[in-house]
Chains A and B, each alone.
Chain A
Amino acid sequence: MAEREQIKKTSPKEQDQEVDEVPAGSESGEALKAELDDLLDEIDDVLETNAEDFVKSYIQKGGQ
């Protein structure tokens, strides 16, 4: 197995010029954490109150 060859990844050609377009990467870690905290506050507000019953009662008929 040691001599198994691996498919080598070739560098994508336009990687450099696209850095600006990845929005999440430009945000600071603290801003992201604050955003996640707000999100988790909201989830605590709207999450089904009786989680166990809700999960158990979610039964579907199989489809395609």
Chain B
Amino acid sequence: MKNTIMENKNFRPLDLKKKMRPGESVIQSLLFISGVLSIFITVAIVYELGKEALLFFNNPDVTLTKFFATTQWQPGIGLFGIWPLVTATLTTSAIAIFVSLPLGLAAALFLSEYATPKARSTLKPILEVLAGIPTVVYGYFALLFMTPLLQSIFGESVQVYNMASAGIVMGIMILPLIASMSEDALSAVPRSLREGAYAMGATKFETSIQVVLPASLSGVGAALIIGISRAIGETMIVAIASGSGPNFTFNPFKAAETMTGHIARISGGDLSYNSIDYTSLFAVALMLFLVTLVLNLISQVVVERFREKYE
């Protein structure tokens, strides 16, 4: 057979003029619109939150001093201290991160550095299925399994509704997310770095902890940030297991209502439009937004400080 490629008969006439490529501009506009839309939606939510929250703060009974410097939250009877809701959110989230970060990182290190390829390809999908369990199931798991377990270990000091049980189960819920994202980050570290470490006489543990982990820190940090955001925003588990009443305490064995749990409970009942209870929910939501934002920023700064950049 004759090889026509080697004959190089130009099948295309030479024409270097500018061409119209309508497909390109359509795609470009679509992508642009999608980008703008997502930003617009975020801005719109913040605007709506701010607008309604402003109604709350414009109420003559509410002052910023009361909001930030008192520790009781009962808007219906004129108590406007946001702190009990914030401390409950921070306590449950801290417990969740305390549980999920070390366990998730350990699981990720095992999967990426120690497990055989076969074990990894079996275990990782199972881990990711765990992430699909509905949070309402986790909530009852906390109330009906974790709380009795804590009570049998720590005795009567553990209340029926408590932050510890909700926090631990929330940690279990976030665990697959952190493990899976961290594993991706660890696996993305180039093999040449591991080889370099091994060739220096490093053990597997030294290589994983001192070379691979620091190099993957931006990805692990992203996992942490998403984990924190999930924990702070998680509603069902805390609504079921953590208690239904604002309580200013850091004692994890006590019942206390988080910001999300509070919003869920209050908005579930009859609520008249423009009542103080109604507008107060937007103030809580705005606070929730701010807490998430601030913690995200802090984690980003921390990660940036410790990460070791490879190209």
Q: Do the two shown chains form a genuine complex with each other?
A: no
